[in-house]
Amino acid sequence: MKYAIISDIHGNLEALESVLAELEKRSVDSILCLGDVVGYGPNPNECLELIKEKAEVTLAGNHDYAPLGKLDLSYFNPWARNAIEWTRERLTDVSIEFLLGLPLKQEIDGFTIVHSTPSEPQKWNYIISIEDAQKYFPQFSNQVCFIGHSHVPIIIVLTEEGECRFVQDNPLQISENRRYIINVGSVGQPRDLNPKASFGIYDESAMLYEHVRVDYDIPETQRKIRKAALPEFLAERLELGQ
Ligand code: ZN
């Protein structure tokens, strides 16, 4: 099975459509979405509709919880809060119903998927450092755990000697005696200084993982953000990838 693992779309329809077009070319068998379909971007309902149609599994992220009133808005920075309020006013009943049904974590075909962390995902903690990874490797039993949330694609390996470190290999051959935490990055708001939409492809039978980047029409998304009177920073950051 060849899985596409996508995360943090954030209402960015142009980025999502571009990623889906790439997936079409690469003939993946299944699309898994790790959450944050909405928040920040100008097309929350359109993105939810597409994800509902295309993804086999969709998880909830903190930005999917927030407009439902499931998460205290004081958790968020002012731009995020502004966008959550904007999103909440516009979500359709169909969108709300879909968001209400999303799980936080899932086990698929021998690997784990979650938006934030494999244990206590509802605390919305981040795995960005080696120390974070050391804390969370004992918290799941599968060989690989795919995450999103930070919008920065990374791979951390736990070796057979018990050493934890970042790996840069792309594509990455998953080796039998090692375990991995893989952040697939963000489709709709990358923050690793590369503005291209980010996602991952995991070929489970070949045990091969690839980070993929694709271009999308950033000026069009920025135009929509400005037209919607969302915070200007949310438009600017897309071209900077931060
Ligand atoms: Zn996010």
pLDDT of residue 201: 98
Does residue 16 have a pLDDT over 90? yes
151 CA distance to ligand 1 middle (Å): 6
Q: How many A from CA of 110 to the centre of ligand 1? A: 25
User: Ligand 1 mean position to 44 CA, how many Å?
Assistant: 13
Measured in Å, residue 153 CA sits from the centre of ligand 1 at 12
Is there a contact between 187 and 16 (Cβ–Cβ < 8 Å)? yes
Q: Which domains does the chain have, with CATH numbers?
A: 2-240 (3.60.21.10)
Tokens for 101? 């049904």
Residue 199's DSSP bridge partners are: 212
- What is the distance in A from the centroid of ligand 1 to the CA of 60? 10
Residue 238: burial class (beta carbons within 10 Å; 0-12, 13-18, 19+) = buried
72: pLDDT strictly greater than 90: no
* Model confidence at 102: pLDDT above 90: yes
Could you give the percent of the chain with pLDDT greater than 70?
Answer: 100
> Rounded to whole angstroms, how far apart are CA atoms 239 and 242?
8
pLDDT for the residue numbered 37: 98
How much distance in Å is there from the Cα of 176 to the middle of ligand 1?
Answer: 31
Strands (E) across the chain are located at: 2-6, 30-33, 57-58, 105-108, 111-114, 144-147, 154-158, 164-166, 172-173, 179-183, 197-203, 208-214
What is the 26 CA–ligand 1 centroid distance (Å)?
Answer: 25
The CA distance from 196 to 190, in Å, is 7
Q: How confident is the model at residue 147 (pLDDT cuts 50, 70, 90)?
A: very high
Compute, in angstroms, the gap from residue 161 CA to the centroid of ligand 1. 33
Whether 35 and 60 have beta carbons less than 8 Å apart is answered as yes
The answer to pTM > 0.95 is yes
- Ligand 1 mean position to 18 CA, how many Å? 18
| pLDDT surpasses 90 at 242 | yes
CA dihedral 180, 26, 114, 97 (to 10 degrees): 180
pLDDT of residue 75: 85
